[in-house]
Amino acid sequence: MARGGILTGPSLVLGGEAGVPESWIPHDGSARSRMLLAGTAARMGYQLTPASRYRGAAPSAGGAGATGTRHYEVHLHGAKQSSAEQAMDVARHMSLLV
């Protein structure tokens, strides 16, 4: 598993043989799996955001699914920024939403 992969059936594998940390994460949506995924992403320099936080995202597996629609507005009054800087501000505001 040193090169990675996704197992879809019972397999005998050797883990940790490459001498670097590895993550084994079941795709069952459990709290432990989500914790392992977030920890793995953080070790690799990423911060995860659940897809359900954005409009149009598919409901998570096993969940009842929300029926409402959320609407958020970000105002950049008189912003003297480039388009890229404005996009970064919008992304920052969105990351603060719960």
- Per-residue pLDDT of the chain in tens (98 residues, 90 and over written 9): 677 778 888 888 888 888 888 888 999 989 999 899 999 999 998 888 877 777 654 555 555 555 566 777 776 766 677 777 778 777 777 777 65
58 class by beta-carbon count within 10 Å (0-12 exposed, 13-18 middle, 19+ buried): exposed
Q: What is the pTM for the complete model shown?
A: 0.50
Cα separation, 59 vs 94, in Å, equals 19
